[in-house]
Each structure stands twice: as structure tokens, then as C-alpha cells.
Amino acid sequence: MAKTGYIDLDTSQEEAYFGVLTSGDRFINAHVHRKVSLLSLRRKKGVSQKSLLPDCSLAWASLTTEQKANWTTAGAYCNLNGWRTFVRDYCYRVVNGLPGVATPDNFHQGLVGQLTVEAPADELKIIQPHPNRYYISKKVTGTKNQYEPVAVDEFLTLPLQIGLSYKSNLVKTEADGFAKFYAVVRRLYQGNNLDEILEIDLDLSTDWKTATATLSYILGQYTSYNLYFHLYHLTGTLLVDNIKAVHNSANWVRDPSCQDIHQDFTRAFYQVPKHWTAVIIPDGAFFESVYPS
């Protein structure tokens, strides 16, 4: 079999080439293989039997106009339309063995981030850095499942607003226990590297609610910032969703809807940082994305 390192196609060949061939692993073991565009009757039957879309369609059709509008409203918080928000939630319920249809919620949609501290641990601290330049994994336009590392230039401009939706069930193990979501902004003033802290004190026991904080002015020159969750001298769980770090009219949080807060990027994506990284994580403490039942 011939091995080809590079192919230069003219426009008359591109349609035929991409119609029957597709790339495999593009980074470690680059190769091209046949594109499966037509399914046999047996495979079609297998795909339709595995798909949850027919059940989703029936469940969606049974909703009232008002209920569909509520799903559309909830979807706006995670940048999805009502139908896609409903389908995602319905599939999560099936996977988790939960019956029926959920009620749309403006505080959380789909999966949420869960921070858990259990004895012997009583502390958990995680970070999401926001330097001036970093990489993210971005879907390749026009493909079904191809992603590529893309450089992002983020230059902080005040005001900076942080916020989130959260639900907590936490208990102090010491009198000085606290739960916080905060940003540490790096600033330069009179030759010194200083930190400006913008924080939200989280209630230790509450149903779903939202909280925000805004930083409008810093003395000196600001450069970059990091986001943190910190549970200190506490045990219990904290659920979070719809995390925000807004400046320049954009939300710069990676994975703001908490679909995979513990995601690792490997192989060709080694330069893409984790969504959240542990700073302090003793035995008994962990963080993950879960479906809130």
C-alpha cells in the first residue's frame, strides 16, 4: 500500500475526494479512511433503536406552548434553543434512570459542577487561570466531531463582573469556615506586583440562587486574573452552574455551563489547559460534573 505524506488537490478533485474519504487521527498517527455515508438496512435499524430522538420528539410534542417557552427561556442561559436544551436534559434523565420530564430551571441546565468535601478532608480549592494568551479546544467548522487547539488572546478591561448560580449544603468543621467564588486580578503599582481580589461569599446552606460582584476600578496597571472556588474548613457539597467572568462584553469562563469541569486535554491538545485545576485537594475532596436529580 502506498503511503502519502501530502496531497495537493485541485478544485475539480475536492468534491470527489471529500465525498468518500475522511481523515482519522490528524496529530499522532495521521491517516485517511473511507467515509461511511450510506448505512445498510441492518445498521440503520441499529442506529434508530439506539437513538433517543424519537422519544424526545414525543415528549416534546406533549408539552404545552407555555412549557416549551419555559425551555426556551432556560436555554438562553446556556446558549441553546428550547428544543436542544430539552433534548440534552431528557437524555441525561434517561442515562441516570430518572423517569418523566424535568421542569426547566433558569438557575441550572443539564449538568452542573459539583464540589464535594468529605472527611477526613475539610478543604477544596480549584483554579481557572486567565492569562493574556492561552489555548482552547474548538470545533472545526463544517465537521461533525473534529476539534483543533486555537489560541485565545484575552486582555482584561474593567469593569470585570463575576457571577454564578449555586446551591449549597455545607457544614463548618471550624469556626472560620467559608465558601467563596472569587477572582484575583494581578496589578502593578509603584514597582510592586499586587493582587486585587473580587469575591463572592457563598451561603453555606441554600437552594439555587444567583450571585454577582463587579470590579470597576484598580489603582495601578492590571494585567491578568485567575478564578477560584475555595471551600475552607467545611464538609458537604456545592453545586454551581452558569459561571461568569464578563469583560469586553463577553463571558470568558471556559465551560461556563459546567458540562465537564474536570476535563483533561491530552495528546495533540496538551497545550490546552484543564477547565479547572486543583490547587488544594486532599483525600475526601473532589470535583466533577453531575446531573442534579
Task: Tell me the per-residue pLDDT of 162-175, one tens digit each, with 9 for 90 and over.
Answer: 999 999 999 999 99
Q: What is the pLDDT of residue 226?
A: 97
Report percent pLDDT > 70 for the chain: 85
Is the confidence at residue 210, as pLDDT, over 80? yes
Going by pLDDT thresholds of 50, 70 and 90, the confidence category of residue 5 is: low
Q: What is the pLDDT of residue 48?
A: 47
Q: What is the pLDDT of residue 45?
A: 46
Q: What is the pLDDT of residue 47?
A: 47
Residue spans per domain, the chain? 41-106, 113-290
- Following CA atoms 256, 95, 47, 104 in sequence, which dihedral angle do they give, to the nearest 10 degrees? -50
Beta strands in 123-254 (DSSP E): 123-130, 133-139, 147-153, 160-172, 178-189, 192-201, 205-215, 221-232, 234-247, 250-251
- Mean pLDDT computed over 251-273: 86
3-class SS of residue 143: coil
Rounded Cα gap, residues 83 and 74, in angstroms: 11
Task: Tell me the per-residue pLDDT of 172-194, one tens digit each, with 9 for 90 and over.
Answer: 999 999 999 999 999 999 989 99
Secondary-structure percent of the chain, ordered helix, strand, coil, rounded to 5: 20, 40, 40
3-class SS of residue 12: helix
Is the confidence at residue 291, as pLDDT, over 80? yes
- Total residue count of the chain as it appears in this document: 293
- Mean pLDDT computed over 106-121: 96
Which cell numbers hold the place of 17? 475526494
Q: How far is CA 251 from the centre of its chain?
A: 12
Q: What is the pLDDT of residue 35?
A: 66
Is the confidence at residue 44, as pLDDT, over 60? no
**Domain 113-290 adopts which CATH fold?**
Jelly Rolls (2.60.120)
